[in-house]
Homo-oligomer: A and B are copies of this chain.
Amino acid sequence: MRLKKYTDYALRVLIYAGASDHKVSIKEISDTFYISAEHIRKVVHQLSVNEYIETTRGRNGGIRLARDADTINIGAVVRLMENDFYLVECFDSEHNQCVITPVCKLRTALSEAIRAFFEVLNQYTLADLIENKDELQALMGIERE
């Protein structure tokens, strides 16, 4: 069980943008994390469509958070980037064929488990993740203002 790399990348982009005091470029992020700019670009686009970040085109362009870090919920970002959370067949009611579904207690257990998973993530905002801004800036090579 893994999250997609794009989910990982999206969170890194938010952390980078959030920990920076000024606008940042895709290239900067891709250089920092040794990830192709192509991938970052895609992720940035999705985050921008969903109004997590604001992009500015053209020379001196770049990206910045579109909202305050403390209003960006980490559980929500994970839900946005992943396709689904169909742990087992019966979670996908459209394709489910499992005969015991109506009385299955496994289904209940797994639902509870995934709920607990998000209950934790929902308690975090981006602000919590960049609380140690200075340390992050140092490791990401971001210049202080």
| A residues apposed to B, CB below 8 Å | 1-3, 5, 7-8, 11-12, 15, 32-34, 74, 82, 84-89, 97-100, 102-106, 109-110, 112-114, 116-121, 124, 128-132, 135-136, 139-140
Chain B residues near A97 (CB-CB < 8 A): 33-34
Copies of this chain present: 2
The answer to whether A11 and B135 have CB atoms under 8 Å apart is no
The answer to whether A88 and B3 have CB atoms under 8 Å apart is yes
Q: Give the secondary structure class of A's interface.
A: helix
Chain B residues near A135 (CB-CB < 8 A): 103
The answer to whether B106 and A74 have CB atoms under 8 Å apart is yes
Q: Closest B-chain residue to A102, C-beta based?
A: B139
The answer to whether A105 and B117 have CB atoms under 8 Å apart is no
Chain B residues near A114 (CB-CB < 8 A): 117
